Amino acid sequence: MAWALRHGQVINEILDDFPALQEYWGPARGREMVEEAVAFIREHPQHVDEYLKEKQRLWEKLV
């Protein structure tokens, strides 16, 4: 989700990318979970940046 936000996606687009959230939790709770994740990502940009950089380093080791 963090990557999607950084690349301009909005909540509806993220929900489209993660249909299992709505299938499992239902449309209202699935949307609520994405909104909560988006809020966390926006409130903690440094932590999210560190996480994404670490994932990128790990990916580069695999490739």
Question: Domain spans of the chain?
Answer: 1-43
Model-level pTM? 0.79
CB 36 within 8 A of CB 44: no
pLDDT band at 25 (very low <50, low <70, confident <90, very high): very high
Residue 31: predicted pLDDT: 95
CB 19 within 8 A of CB 34: no
Q: Is the pLDDT of residue 63 over 90?
A: no
Residue 30: predicted pLDDT: 93
40: left (phi over 0), alpha (psi -120 to 50) or beta: alpha
| Euclidean distance between CA atoms 10 and 33, whole angstroms | 14
